[in-house]
Amino acid sequence: MKGRYQSLAASGAALCLTAVTLTGCGAIGGLTGDNEVTLRVVAADYGDNPQNSSAAYWKGLAEGFQKDHPDVKVEVSVYSWSEVDAKVAEMVKAGKAPDIAQIGAYADYAAAGKLYSTAELLSVKTEADFLAPLADAGKVKQTQYGMPFVSSTRLLFYNEKLLADAGVTGKDGKGWQPKSWADLEAAAKKLKGAGVPVPFALPLGREEAQAETMMWMLAGGGGYTDNEEGYSIDSADNIKSLEFLRDKMVGQQLVGPVEPGKLDRQAAFEAFAKGEVGMLNGHPTLMKQAEAKGVKYGMVPLPTSDGSPQPAMGVADWVMAFKNGHREQSGKFLDYLYQPKNVTAFTEKYDLLPATTSGYQAKQAATNGSAAQLKPFLAALPSSRLYPVGKKSWAGVSEDIKQKIGTAVQPGGQPAKLLEEIATSARAADKG
């Protein structure tokens, strides 16, 4: 999930594919015969290598759809998360928007009047199946334009062996259960004393700084917006959260040799899978990475500033349909995309959480079996807080955070000043 949840795409090159008929990446959708329509779809890659690229999923999906709709051809281009949003922006600017895009944000396109609403596209059954918090997050001025594709929540991962060797253990033979930031700080100090290279990985680099920042803000009682959904980036709680990171984690050298502003999330995940990191925030995909390297890990909610309960961060990636004159065909394809079997196939492949009620119920049932490890992620989903993706200003605000937030937690950093600067720009953009 990009910014929100980021994919693990490693390939920089786009994977262009078409189902049934290969027509080339640059083809423009339209009538290909007397009654034949070509839908152009752009999607993000959730794989971390060419062998598990999302291209295979989309190819199968397109082929399955075309069996029932022979008059509609589907042409899909799959790009890594590092470039997919920019690719769609370039297409839109050039007047060649795809019919359907599966990317990280939709609100700016909706505000510009470029998208169909979900009511114009989907069957009643499909539209009603979205999980309510995610459907609400897909709205601009009470109208839903963004369709949640997959979702994720975050937990604190820890290396069981590293913590045990450092003398950090749970009570009564149970796993470690930190409640407050004081617990987190104490564990990080023991890990450092035991010679662990990175007691706590704090990725505030450009890849996903907005996500790591939001997790800490929520754990400190704050967040990007207030209860009225106005920007509250410079709140007292948020300032205290960054001051804790600056003074207690970075200031005491508990975050490893790479400064947070230069550490990307994927690099932190890879270091955890190598056994070099004691603790870090992660999403479900990290489970497979760690297991593949034989790392035994535990997962708990990120401790809060004072131990009181706070909501976890939830993330969703989005699907949208551009007004290209193919409303009916796009709607049929989207109804097919959100069929339970197709939702389940994708979420199981990448250990993600579904965005639909039917998918959520299926995943809940599965947590009693092979998907049991997903249970804490699922439990956090209904009450989780998402990015303010319904604001057309969010894309710019997110980029501002990515570029600047790492400096706030460095020794001598000024969290209050930086957050005020970002908040002032955010409020101005929101009004504009």
Please name the residues in contact with 335: beta carbons below 8 A apart, sequence gap of 6 or more: 122, 123, 126
Give the position of tokens 């390297």.
293
Return all residues near 247 (Cβ < 8 A) that are at least 6 apart: none
Q: Please name which of 53, 77, 149, 18 lies closest in space to residue 349, comparing C-alpha atoms.
A: 53
Backbone phi, then psi, for 157, in 5-degree steps?
-95, 145
Q: Which residue carries 């075309």 as its tokens?
A: 66
Instruction: Name the nearest CA neighbour of 410 among 271, 243, 189, 278.
Output: 243
- Which domains, ranges and CATH numbers included, belong to the chain? 15-153+315-380 (3.40.190.10), 155-311+393-431 (3.40.190.10)
3-state SS, residue 301: coil
Quote the CA–CA distance of 197 and 234 in Å, as a whole number. Answer: 33
Distance of CA 215 to the CA centre of its chain: 12
Residue 14 structure tokens: 């786009």
How does pLDDT run along the chain (432 residues), one tens digit per residue?
443 333 333 333 333 333 333 333 333 334 444 468 999 999 999 887 788 899 999 999 999 999 999 999 999 999 988 789 889 999 999 999 999 999 988 998 999 999 999 999 999 999 999 988 889 889 988 999 999 999 888 999 999 999 999 999 887 667 899 999 999 999 999 999 999 999 999 999 988 899 999 999 999 999 999 987 899 999 999 999 999 999 999 999 999 899 999 999 989 999 999 999 999 999 888 998 899 999 999 999 999 999 999 999 988 999 999 999 999 999 999 999 999 999 999 988 888 888 998 988 877 776 554 467 788 888 888 788 999 988 888 888 998 999 999 999 999 999 999 999 999 999 999 887
3-state secondary structure of 277: strand
Return the sign of the alpha-carbon dihedral for residues 403, 317, 82, 99: negative
Tell me the C-alpha distance between 114 and 150, whole Å: 23
The sign of the dihedral angle between the CA atoms of 327, 91, 103, 385 is negative
- Is residue 78 within 8 A of residue 44, CB to CB? The reply is yes
Find the helix or strand (DSSP H, E) in which 136 lies.
helix 132-137
DSSP state of 262: G
Q: What is the pTM of this model?
A: 0.79
For 126, 226, 316, 370, 381, the CA distances from 356, given in Å and listed in that order, are: 9, 26, 11, 20, 12
Residues 206-243 as b or e (16 or more Cβ within 10 Å = b): bbbbbbbbbbbbbbbbbbbbeeeeebbbbbebbbbbbb
Residue 283 DSSP code: -
Q: How far is CA 107 from CA 120, 184, 284, in A?
A: 17, 37, 26
